[in-house]
Amino acid sequence: MRNVSEVFDAGEGVEVELRGWVWRKRSHGRLLFIDLRDSTGVIQVAVNAGRVGPESFEEASKASRESSVLVRGIIAHDPRAPGGVEVRCTYFKTIGQSLDDFPIRKGVTSRVLYDNRHLYLRSPRVTAVMRIRSNLIWAVHEFFRSRGFVEIDCPTLVTAAVEGGATLFEVNYFGKKVYLTQSVQFYQEAAIYSLERVYSIQPSFRAEKSRTTRHLTEFWHVEAEMAYAGFEDLLKTIEELVRYIVIRVDELSKKELRTLGRRIRTEEVEGPFPRITYAEALDILRRHGVDAEWGIDIGADEEKIISGEFEKPVFLTHFPKKLKAFYHKPDPSNREVTLSADLLAPRGNGEIVGSGVRIDDYEELRSRILEEGLRPEDYYWYLDLRKYGSVPHAGFGMGVERVLKWILDLPHVRMAAPFPRTPTRIQP
Ligand code: 4AD
Ligand code: MG
């Protein structure tokens, strides 16, 4: 058994047997052209009534779009075929006939495409994006594994907010109100007291009604936490991770990038990433006519202006305390700002990483919890971590779909998720 991609590499006259689906079909009377799709690509199959038996020709004539089929034939190099290769059919059998017209057609609206995401997944371009996504996850594992990080699987059902109460999804847990987690950070922090350096790749949830091109309500989150790490170690690790995955995904995805007609701009991750403080970012915004007072949130519009000044990903550091979650450690040289950093991707793509040094002192953390109007008893175990052998530590979170949107130039993060969830989309 061979697959489509092997056929392109094989020689003239070789006999093949393929299993796939009818992607497109053209009929010229006694000659049919079927574009056969499998997990590795699309190839033209020529079914000539003069070469195959009458039963095979009849089956091929009846096979509608997206029917699953088995094809035997001979490889022929023919400049008229797409990619210069076709299979001249000797035997054709339908395995599962399509019962209806396939809803995914040229020119349908994106609404139709995403109502039918379960079928739209079959399109060669979507297939390419999903393979690249898989390569990206692979590269993340390679990076962390090669640096002594241990993967840890954390719960999704939680009892308290990590990133503030406003974006929590509630779940009825046998009558008790619990939530879908926004981040596994707190569990990772518990794990560093034995494993020291941990990472996770899990879904996170945000009940954000924002209808932008970069928000999902469920996204895949790469997170890492490191014992004894300071601010420099943190930024260095983030920068190395981002550089590694961009270069590695490019290496692993040559074929898929050709299918998409895309080039990954690996030059964007060469050399050190620029860093600016929040205060410096306000200066940039003011130069662009934004009324940027100390304390304003850096939203999508502001990020676009700031990242527009740089050709590489840029670290935005030292956010004011009041803009960041309670666990962020204040900068000892200016306690109004935190040892925090967001990484903004170039070309207006905005934040792809959020990070920071954590408060490691028990009393300080407790008073920050109270200051934010939260209840220390909801965070009893998180506080405990500062009670028994606390250590300085830092960590970060990176959104998988945001990174793919950036490196593949996708117009919307939903294109990077197999089954995207947005405020208006929960099916299929
Ligand atoms: O900046 P965030 O909210 O940080 C945290 O959750 C930290 N607890 C992570 C940590 O330090 N362990 O989220 C981190 C990243 C963002 O930079 C973004 O890439 C992604 O998660 N993200 C989203 N991606 C898609 N849709 C959303 N609604 C997202 N919210 C965050
Ligand atoms: Mg953030």
Q: Are residues 84 and 143 in the same domain?
A: no
CA of 398 to the centre of ligand 1 (A): 6
Q: Are residues 311 and 164 in the same domain?
A: yes
Q: Are residues 353 and 296 in the same domain?
A: yes
Q: Are residues 119 and 81 in the same domain?
A: no
Q: What is the CATH number of the domain that holds 386?
A: 3.30.930.10
Mean pLDDT of 353-358: 98
Residue partners of 317: CB distance under 8 A and separation at least 6:
235, 275, 276, 277, 278, 340, 341
Res. 165 pLDDT band, cuts 50 70 90: confident
427 lies in some domain: no
pLDDT computed for residue 217 by the predictor: 97
pLDDT computed for residue 36 by the predictor: 97
Q: Is the pLDDT of residue 294 over 90?
A: yes
Q: Are residues 90 and 142 in the same domain?
A: no
Q: Is the pLDDT of residue 1 over 70?
A: no
Write phi, then psi, for 99 (nearest 5 degrees).
-90, -20
Q: Is the pLDDT of residue 175 over 90?
A: yes
Mean pLDDT of 272-286: 97
Q: Is the pLDDT of residue 233 over 90?
A: yes
Q: Is the pLDDT of residue 103 over 60?
A: yes
Q: Are residues 213 and 342 in the same domain?
A: yes
Report the pocket of ligand 1 as residue ranges, CB < 6 Å: 162-163, 182-183, 185, 206, 208, 215-216, 219, 221, 223, 351-355, 395-399, 401-402, 413
pLDDT computed for residue 2 by the predictor: 83
Spacing of C-alpha 355 from chain mean position: 18
pLDDT computed for residue 232 by the predictor: 98
Residue 369: C-alpha distances to residues 124, 341, 358, 376 (Å)? 50, 21, 13, 6
Question: Torsion over CA of 288, 293, 294 and 300, rounded to 10 degrees?
Answer: -50
Q: Give the Cα separation of 68 and 205 in Å (integer).
A: 37
Q: Are residues 161 and 24 in the same domain?
A: no
Q: Give the Cα separation of 228 and 232 in Å (integer).
A: 11
CA of 251 to the centre of ligand 2 (A): 29
Res. 385 pLDDT band, cuts 50 70 90: very high
Q: Are residues 157 and 279 in the same domain?
A: yes
pLDDT computed for residue 68 by the predictor: 98
Range of the domain at 57: 4-96
Q: Are residues 81 and 129 in the same domain?
A: no
Res. 327 pLDDT band, cuts 50 70 90: very high
Structure confidence by residue, pLDDT tens digits, 299-320: 999 999 999 999 999 999 999 9
For ligand 2, a single-atom ion, the residues with CB < 5 A are 354
Res. 96 pLDDT band, cuts 50 70 90: very high
From 44, 67, 96, give the residue that closes a domain. Answer: 96
Q: Are residues 87 and 236 in the same domain?
A: no
Any idea which ligand is nearest the CA of 183? 1
Number of domains in the chain: 2
Any idea which ligand is nearest the CA of 203? 1
Q: Are strands 334-338 and 275-277 parallel, antiparallel or unpaired?
A: unpaired
Q: Are residues 79 and 201 in the same domain?
A: no
Q: What is the CATH number of the domain that holds 69?
A: 2.40.50.140
Q: Is the pLDDT of residue 255 over 70?
A: yes
339 lies in some domain: yes
Average per-residue pLDDT for the chain = 96
Q: Are residues 274 and 347 in the same domain?
A: yes
Mean pLDDT of 286-299: 95
pLDDT computed for residue 118 by the predictor: 98
